[in-house]
Structure 1
Amino acid sequence: MTGGAAAGPPLIRHNDYSPLDLPGLGGWEPSLPVSVVIPARGGQHRLDLVLAALAAQSYPDHLMEVIVVDDGSEPPLRLPEIAPADTRIIAADPGRWGIAHAVNSGAARADGLVLQRLDSDMVVCREHIEALARWHHLSDHVVAIGAKKFIEEPPVTPARVHEAVRGGSLGDVFDLAAAVPSSTEETIARLDGLRTSRNPYHVCTGPTVSMRREVFHAVGGLDPAVPRGEDTEFAYRLAQHGVVFVPDMAAQAVHLGLPAQRLDRDRAVRLVSPYLAHRIPLRRDLRKDRERRWLVPYVEVVLHVDGVAEERVRRAVGAALSGSVGDVAVALVAPWPEPDGERRPVPDGPDFELLLMREHFAHDDRVRTVTGVSATPAPVPFRYTGPVAVPPAPRTLEKMIAALQRDRLGMLTVDLGADGTAVLERTEALGRALLLGAADPDAVAASVRATHGAGRGERAEFWPPAQADPDGTGAPVKDPARPPVTARERPLQGRDGARRPEADGRRPEPGGRGPADPSLRKARALLSRLRTVIGQD
Structure 2
Amino acid sequence: MRPGHAQGNPTTPSPGDRPRIRHNDYSPLVPPPLGRWSPELRVSVVVPAHGGQHRLDLTLAALAAQTYPAGLMEVIVVDDGSDPPLRLPEKRPENTRLVTAAPGGWGIAHALNTGAHLAEGEIIQRLDADMVISREHIEALMRWHHLTDYVVTIGAKVFVEEPALTAAQVNTAVGQGGLDSLFDMAAAVPSSTEATIRRLDGLRASKNPYHVCTGPTVSLRRALFHEVGGLDPSVPRGEDTEFAYRLAMTGAVFVPDMEARAVHLGIPAQRVDTEATVRVVAPYLAHRVPLRRDLRKERGRRWLVPYAEVVLDVRGRAEPEVRAAVGAALGGSLPDVAVTLLGPWSALPEGRRRVLDDPDFEARLIHEQFRHDDAVRLADEPTPDPAPVPFRYTGSVDVPLGRRSLELMIKSLNDTRAGLLVVEFPGGGTARLERTEATNRARLLAAPGEDLTDVIAQTHGVRRAPSSDFWPPDKPKAKPAPATPEPAAPAHDRPSATRNPAERPTPRPTPQGTPEKLVKRLRTALRGR
Pair in the same fold by TM > 0.5: yes
Q: Any idea what the Cα deviations from partners look like across 1:299-349, whole Å, max 9, x if unmatched?
A: 000001101111100000000000000010000012224466543333846
Aligned partner letter, 1:325: L
2:467 equivalent to 1:459: yes
2:426 equivalent to 1:428: no
Q: How do 1:272-351 residues align onto structure 2 when only pairs under 5 Å count?
A: 272-338=281-347, 342-346=351-355, 348=357, 351=360
2:381 equivalent to 1:368: no
Instruction: Work out whether residues 382 and 427 of structure 1, in 8 Å CA contact, stay in contact via their aligned partners in 2.
Output: yes
Deviation at 1:267, TM superposition (A): 1.5
The alpha-carbon distance between structure 1 residues 347 and 170, as it changes in their structure 2 partners (threshold 3 A), is: farther
The alpha-carbon distance between structure 1 residues 516 and 109, as it changes in their structure 2 partners (threshold 3 A), is: farther
2:458 equivalent to 1:450: yes
Q: Any idea what the Cα deviations from partners look like across 1:260-313, whole Å, max 9, x if unmatched?
A: 001111211111111111111111111110211111000000001101111100
Indicate the SS of the match to 1:145: strand
Indicate the SS of the match to 1:138: coil
Match of 1:236 in 2: 245
Q: Any idea what the Cα deviations from partners look like across 1:11-37, whole Å, max 9, x if unmatched?
A: 210000001121100111000000000
The alpha-carbon distance between structure 1 residues 24 and 341, as it changes in their structure 2 partners (threshold 3 A), is: same
Match of 1:217 in 2: 226
1:4 to 11, 18, 35: 11
Match of 1:505 in 2: none
Q: Any idea what the Cα deviations from partners look like across 1:205-249, whole Å, max 9, x if unmatched?
A: 030000000111111110011111100000000001100000000
Separation in 1, partners of 2:145, 2:482: 66
Match of 2:368 in 1: 359
User: Percent of pairs identical after alignment?
Assistant: 61
2:416 to 376, 400, 407: 407
Separation in 1, partners of 2:420, 2:451: 13
Separation in 1, partners of 2:484, 2:268: 64
Aligned partner letter, 1:333: L
Deviation at 1:436, TM superposition (A): 1.4
Aligned partner letter, 1:447: V
TM-score with structure 1 length normalisation?
0.87
Cα RMSD for the two superposed structures: 2.2
Indicate the SS of the match to 2:360: helix
Q: How do 1:493-508 residues align onto structure 2 when only pairs under 5 Å count?
A: none
Q: Any idea what the Cα deviations from partners look like across 1:122-167, whole Å, max 9, x if unmatched?
A: 1110000000011000010000000000000000000000000100
Deviation at 1:489, TM superposition (A): 6.9
Match of 2:217 in 1: 208
Aligned partner letter, 1:459: S
2:480 to 467, 475, 488: 488
Match of 1:471 in 2: none
Deviation at 1:362, TM superposition (A): 1.0
The alpha-carbon distance between structure 1 residues 337 and 34, as it changes in their structure 2 partners (threshold 3 A), is: closer
Separation in 2, partners of 1:74, 1:157: 22
Deviation at 1:81, TM superposition (A): 0.4
Instruction: Work out whether residues 329 and 366 of structure 1, in 8 Å CA contact, stay in contact via their aligned partners in 2.
Output: yes
The alpha-carbon distance between structure 1 residues 274 and 165, as it changes in their structure 2 partners (threshold 3 A), is: same
Aligned partner letter, 2:197: I
1:62 to 60, 71, 76: 71
Structure of higher CA gyration radius: 2
Separation in 2, partners of 1:3, 1:456: 37
2:25 equivalent to 1:16: yes
Separation in 1, partners of 2:354, 2:308: 38
TM-score with structure 2 length normalisation?
0.88
Aligned partner letter, 1:448: I
Separation in 2, partners of 1:517, 1:460: 44
Deviation at 1:110, TM superposition (A): 0.4
Separation in 1, partners of 2:514, 2:252: 61
Aligned residue pairs total 489
Separation in 2, partners of 1:323, 1:461: 16
Instruction: Work out whether residues 66 and 135 of structure 2, in 8 Å CA contact, stay in contact via their aligned partners in 1.
Output: yes
Q: Any idea what the Cα deviations from partners look like across 1:90-114, whole Å, max 9, x if unmatched?
A: 1111011111111001100000000
Unpaired segments ≥5 residues, structure 1: 466-478, 494-514, 527-537
2:84 equivalent to 1:75: yes
Separation in 1, partners of 2:461, 2:389: 20
Separation in 2, partners of 1:397, 1:167: 58
2:257 to 231, 243, 248: 248
Deviation at 1:6, TM superposition (A): 5.8
Q: How do 1:144-155 residues align onto structure 2 when only pairs under 5 Å count?
A: 144-155=153-164
Match of 2:5 in 1: none
2:269 equivalent to 1:260: yes
Match of 1:184 in 2: 193
2:517 equivalent to 1:519: yes
Aligned partner letter, 2:180: G
Instruction: Work out whether residues 201 and 232 of structure 1, in 8 Å CA contact, stay in contact via their aligned partners in 2.
Output: yes
Aligned partner letter, 1:462: F
The alpha-carbon distance between structure 1 residues 251 and 340, as it changes in their structure 2 partners (threshold 3 A), is: same
Unpaired segments ≥5 residues, structure 2: 1-7, 486-512, 525-529
2:43 equivalent to 1:45: no
Separation in 2, partners of 1:517, 1:148: 80
Indicate the SS of the match to 2:20: coil
Separation in 1, partners of 2:480, 2:144: 67
Deviation at 1:415, TM superposition (A): 0.6
Separation in 1, partners of 2:358, 2:428: 24
Q: How do 1:103-142 residues align onto structure 2 when only pairs under 5 Å count?
A: 103-142=112-151
Indicate the SS of the match to 2:453: helix
The alpha-carbon distance between structure 1 residues 319 and 438, as it changes in their structure 2 partners (threshold 3 A), is: farther
Match of 1:162 in 2: 171
Deviation at 1:354, TM superposition (A): 1.0
